[in-house]
Amino acid sequence: MNIMSTDRLITKIRMLRERIGPNLRDRVVSSIYQHAEKISRNVVQKNEFKQDLDICIDNIATSRIFGLPLMLLLLSGILWLTITGANYPSQLLAKLFFGIEDQLTVFFRFLNAPDWLHGLLVLGIYRTLAWVVSVMLPPMAIFFPLFTFCEDLGYLPRVAFNLDHFFKKAGAHGKQVLTMCMGFGCNAAGVIACRIIESPRERLIAILTNNFVPCNGRFPTLFAMAAIFIGTLVNNSHNLTASLFVTGVIILGIMITLLVSWILSKSLLKGIPSSFTLELPPYRLPKIGSLLVRSVIDRTIFVLIRAVIVAIPAGAFTWIFANIHVGGITLIDLFASWLQDFGRLIGLDGYIIVAFILGLPANEIVLPILIMSYLSQGAMLELDSITALRDLLLSNGWTWLTALNMSLFSLLHFPCATTLLTIHKETQSTKWSLLAALIPTGVAIIVCFLITQVAHFFKLV
Amino acid sequence: MGLTRKSTGIYTFLEEFHTDSSGYQAIIALAGNPNTGKSTVFNGLTGLNQHTGNWPGKTVTLAKGFYQHKGKQIALVDLPGTYSLLAQSVEEQVARDFICFGEPDAVVVVTDATCLERNLNLTLQIMEITSQVVMCLNLMDEAKRKNIHIDHEKLAKLLGIPIVPTAARSKEGLSALKDAIDQTVSGGKRLRPKTVCYDQELETTLAELTSDFSSTFSSRINSRWLALRLLDSDFTMVKQILRYINKTGNNLPSSSEEGLDL
């Protein structure tokens, strides 16, 4: 065959392709699958009751009609349980810790300790720690066992199955959903999980967008915002509204993931999605004992310890930052005033932006840093309840719009340092690691800016 | 982060394979889904202390081994486990490239008897490329325990290929597998695998295309499968396929620079 006939053949192929249309691959795959199904029906005899039950459940859990609503119901149910359940122990822990703080202050006075030492250790480190533990521990202790239950049950691959269609449309890989599920726990873990995606193009898309699912470091911020501002918008069904709000934020995160994936697959990472076979494992009822041990020790405590380790230096750092005066104002006020105009533009303020920047090591400490920098302005509040936190935020000019933007910025902004380092390790590329920080930050700024401007335009605030 | 063809190591592997000094009468490729006990079959056939060379690519390993059967020296290549040959993972490309261009004398598909249907997808795809297919229906012991019964004689009839039920862990059925491989290789029985029929429109299109080029070149690659790939791949790939066929006919791809992405 010479070059001429090669060209002729290509023309012919092009013509034939037009005739059969674009979905050849799907047709081929579905023919093969149907054939395989027919043959196996002919030769295989199963006498297994359990497997039939699995199929019954899957007919509903992965059906076109019920699959998605069931998923959303499950998600908001889990969030409702988390918020409702965490409320009371959170308050209790806060009361306990701030009671201890008072005792510590008395103790320091008794020792005649210098003010800076008391400030650094008690108002800086201890207070940040107390916030991290009392805000994070209860929701995590409820959320993680519930999440682990779904995981052990075998539900996560079904989620991937239900969402596969959307991800394919976005030019991404269906397994990306599984990496996102891991991201709920920790984005760094989610990025590592992207190894299950074989195609480098789709793996990069999954890595770059993993940050759009809120990790456990950001859940407490979302829960707090929901509980403080959004939930109180509706008087009677406080927790329900709050959990629906968090569900909405997560859905928005998924939609942004799809959108960014789509844009990436049309621009920087062009290509067609590869098809894949996903094994739906049999449903297995988890063993509750080992589930609790695993989710509490491996996840909750692990995450908490990480947060505590970061919170200690961050608390000290923030306190110093808030107590060094330059030309009559503190460093934190100085930075905040520089960022104030920009913060206002996207519905936040300078302090919130500073908190997000200082919170780069771990998202868990963004809210504690923010609270500390507000407190350092001289407002002497006893922060022993959610109401006190609400009053503090209100006195700093917060509205529901600020809370909404805080939630969205938290959801969408740059990943934490651990995740960025992991991305660098996985991609071996400074360019992609930089983009992994820049893309989310850009999205966060655009979304918050639009929402703020729309709210101001319609005079909603 | 581009994975080049070179990084899969298959061409270097093939070159070394074909220049290997130890004489053998046939090359058998071992394909199958992940976790079907492929490696157990491989070890069971070759014996653990046989000469096995691991071929590390980036995520890919091709293991090679030998065994003696009825006075013949048989070379066995353990392909990476895949669910299909259609998608674009490195594992699938390596498996597919070896089946197409590694010129195996037969492909043994190791399947999991406890979930036959999923395993049939790969089997059917391999049958489209080559007619020299033997199915090793593995994990029969597990299927028995799970109360799953498979009529393997009927399955053999429906697929048109020899089927050997095995339980590789306890070495059951492995000598029967060797016999079946031997028969297939020596061409005692001409195999006529029953491949998938696509819809009417697709079938006529395929027929039109195959009639066009089957006269032009006599490649040992199945022309129907080639036609399907030509319709499915993007055009840079089509050009590569055609260039490959022009240049080499039946031989191995000459250089690894010549990326060959079907």
How does pLDDT run across B121-136, given as a tens digit for each residue? 999 999 988 889 999 9
The better pLDDT of the pair A111, A49 is held by A111
A315 is a domain residue: yes
Nearest to B13 by CA among B81, B85, B74, B61: B61
Under an 8 A CB cutoff, do A12 and B246 touch? no
Residues of A with Cβ-Cβ distance to B84 under 8 angstroms: 29, 275, 277
For residue B43, what are its two tokens? Answer: 């070890």
| pLDDT bracket for residue B220 (50, 70, 90) | low
Q: What are the structure tokens assigned to B206, written together?
A: 């395929």
Q: Which of B89, B105, B139 is nearest to B17 (CA)?
A: B105
Average pLDDT over chain A reads: 83
> Which one-letter DSSP state was computed for residue A198?
-
Chain B from 88 to 117: CB within 8 A of any A CB? 88-92, 116-117
Chain segment A414-429, per-residue pLDDT in tens: 998 888 988 998 888 9
Name the one residue in this structure whose structure tokens are 């960014």.
Answer: A260
**Residue A195 or residue A215, greater confidence:** A215
- Give me the mean pLDDT over the A11-30 stretch: 84
Residue A343 lies in a domain: yes
Average pLDDT over residues B190-203: 84
Nearest CA to A93 out of A43, A145, A36, A132 is that of A132
Residue B86: both structure tokens together = 């259609």
Q: Which of residues B20 and A215 earns the better pLDDT score?
A: A215
What was the pLDDT predicted at A249?
93
Distances (CA, A) of A44 to A229, A459, B153: 58, 67, 12
DSSP annotation of A228 reads: I
Report the share of chain B in percent with pLDDT over 90.
21
Query: Does the beta-carbon distance from A31 to B196 stay under 8 Å?
Result: yes
B144 in reach of chain A (CB within 8 A) = no
pLDDT band at A382 (very low <50, low <70, confident <90, very high): low
Task: Tell me the Cα Rg of chain A.
Answer: 26
Q: Is residue A14 part of a domain?
A: no
H-only helix segments in A194-236: 200-209, 219-225
The string of pLDDT tens digits covering residues B49-100 is 443 333 333 334 567 888 888 888 888 888 888 888 876 666 777 788 888 8
pLDDT at residue A263 is higher than 90: yes
Measured between beta carbons, the chain B residues lying within 8 angstroms of A12 are 209, 212
Contact A52, B124 (CB under 8 A): no
Considering A154-163, A231-240, A295-304, the range whose residues carry the highest mean pLDDT is A154-163
What's the whole-number mean pLDDT along residues A240-260? 91
**What pLDDT, on the 0 to 100 scale, is given for residue B1?**
31
What secondary structure letter does DSSP report for A364?
G
ipTM for this model: 0.82
pLDDT band at B160 (very low <50, low <70, confident <90, very high): very high
Tell me which residue in A2, A19, A39 faces B158 most closely, judged by beta carbons. Answer: A39
Decide if pLDDT at A116 tops 80. Answer: yes
Q: Which of residues 53-72 of B touch A (CB under 8 A)?
A: 59
* Residue whose entry in the numeric block shows the structure tokens 């492995």: B174
Q: How do residues A157-191 score in pLDDT, each as one tens digit? A: 888 888 888 888 888 888 888 888 888 877 887 88
Cβ pair A414, A442 in contact under 8 A? no
Residues in chain A: 461
A63/B212: higher pLDDT: A63
User: Do the chains contact at B242 and A13, CB–CB below 8 Å?
Assistant: no
pLDDT over 60 (residue A1): no
Q: What percent of chain B has pLDDT over 70?
A: 68
Answer whether residue A62 shows pLDDT above 90.
no
- Residue A74 burial (C-beta neighbours within 10 Å; 0-12, 13-18, 19+): middle
Mutant choice from A17, A43, A191, A428 vs B, greatest count of B C-beta within 10 A? A43
Q: What is the pLDDT of residue B213?
A: 66
A367: in domain: yes
pLDDT beyond 90 at A435: yes
Closest CA to B30 of B9, B7, B52, B3: B52
Domain-embedded: residue A39: no
- Most confident range (mean pLDDT) of A85-94, A350-359, A368-377, B142-151 is A350-359
A328 Rama class: left (phi>0) / alpha (psi -120 to 50) / beta: left
Residues on chain B touching A36 (C-beta within 8 angstroms) = 117-118, 120-121, 123-124
Q: How far apart are CA A85 and CA A140, in angstroms?
A: 11
Residue A385: per-residue pLDDT? 63
A7 falls within a domain? no
Number of domains in chain A: 1
CB A156 within 8 A of CB A116: no
Structural domain span for residue A381: 67-457
Two tokens, residue A382: 């006893």
Which residues partner with B92 through β-bridges? none
Residue B207 has pLDDT above 70, yes or no: yes
pLDDT of residue A145: 86
* pLDDT surpasses 80 at B199: yes
The end-to-end CA distance of chain B, in Å, is: 20
For residue A409, the one-letter residue type is: F
Inform me whether the pLDDT recorded for A322 exceeds 50: yes
> Are residues A338 and A329 in contact, defined by beta-carbon separation less than 8 angstroms?
no
For residue B11, name the pLDDT band (cuts at 50, 70, 90).
low
pLDDT at A286: 73
Please give, one letter per residue, the 3-state secondary structure of chain B.
Answer: CCCCHHHHCHHHHHHHHHHCCCCCCEEEEEEECCCCCHHHHHHHHHCCCCCCEEEECCCCEEEEEEEEECCEEEEEEECCCCCCCCCCCHHHHHHHHHHHHCCCCEEEEEEEHHHHHHHHHHHHHHHHHCCCEEEEEECHHHHHHCCEEECHHHHHHHHCCCEEECEHHHCECHHHHHHHHHHHHCCCCCCCCCCCCCCHHHHHHHHHHHHHHHCCCCCCCCHHHHHHHHHHCCHHHHHHHHHHHHHHCCCCCCCCCCCCCC
A408 within domain boundaries? yes
What pLDDT does B245 receive?
64
pLDDT at B242 exceeding the cut of 70:
no
Residue of B nearest to A278 (CA): B83
Interchain CB distance below 8 Å, A427 and B1: yes
CA distance A167 to A156: 15
pLDDT (0 to 100) of residue B219: 56
Phi and psi at residue B190, in whole multiples of 5°? -75, 125
Average confidence (pLDDT) over B100-122: 89
> Would you say residue A199 lies in a domain?
yes
Output the CA–CA distances (angstroms, integers) from residue B80 to A131, A300, A312, B113, B235, in the order listed: 51, 37, 48, 19, 27
- Region B178-186: mean pLDDT is 91
Asked if B207 is an interface residue toward chain A (Cβ–Cβ < 8 A), one would say no
Least confident of A141-150, A285-294, A422-431, B252-261: B252-261
